[in-house]
A = this chain, B = another copy of it.
């Protein structure tokens, strides 16, 4: 089977950086899943002895803590530091930025609005930097429940959809005197999406590699299905099924931002061997 990779796929800058930091901190403990890929977390534990602490209670005084790519709440970071625990920050710089913006805007008296999912660790970390409670909304409908004050500042979860972000910004502009719009959406996710869309239109079958619970992987899968009905989502090469490839000539591959290259390479080789 002939295989074609998307122009842009897999690990983003923040994920690569976090993994490098974890590898450099053998025997450390990540607070929360470093990235949203169980197989990579397993590899870091097996090859580098980096264990996963699910909450701050699982951190021991002699632990060397690695802060996950999505960041952690401000009070947890302060708590770790006050205990003299060694902390290495693997928060993606694209997440550190909205954290800082939220902190500053809140200090300056702006009502902070975050476009995102309140259950996502990134949003939990970003919203924790607001002095006064930030509003986390996923749609204009949710925003309509609030009375918009004169001064508002908007940031976005890094992996959200641009068009929805602009709709929310538009609503805030219409209802405030000053709307401060920070486009904190990360480019990497969108480059992967654009490349997937392009490739899906050129091939007979499309394979999306990524964590089944990864939100950005799911988005890639949805995009691929729209442009190539024969699209399949797998975690690794074991998920491949021969019958998918009958009568197909060319197969496209893309992968989520937290899918390690070694998994993608195994998938690629397996398909080429068909």
Residues of A within 8 A of B (CB): 166, 169-170, 173-174, 176-183
Contact = CB atoms under 8 A, between A and B. Distances in A.
A173 B169 contact: yes
Nearest to A165: B173
A173 B180 contact: no
Contacts of A174: 166
21 contacts: A166-B170, A166-B173, A166-B174, A169-B173, A169-B179, A170-B170, A173-B181, A173-B183, A176-B183, A177-B182, A177-B183, A178-B180, A178-B181, A178-B182, A178-B183, A179-B180, A179-B181, A179-B183, A180-B180, A180-B181, A181-B181
Contacts of A170: 166, 170
A54 B170 CA distance: 41
Given A170-B170, A177-B183, A178-B181, 9 more contacts: A166-B173, A169-B173, A173-B181, A178-B180, A178-B183, A179-B180, A179-B181, A179-B183, A180-B180
Contacts of A181: 173, 178-181
Contacts of A177: 182-183
Nearest to A174: B166
A173 B169 CA distance: 8
Nearest to A181: B179
Contacts of A173: 166, 169, 181, 183
A176 B181 CA distance: 9
Contacts of A179: 169, 180-181, 183
Contacts of A182: 177-178
Nearest to A176: B183
Contacts of A166: 170, 173-174
A104 to B, nearest CB: 11
A170 B170 CA distance: 7
Most B CB atoms within 10 A — which of A166, A169, A173, A182? A173
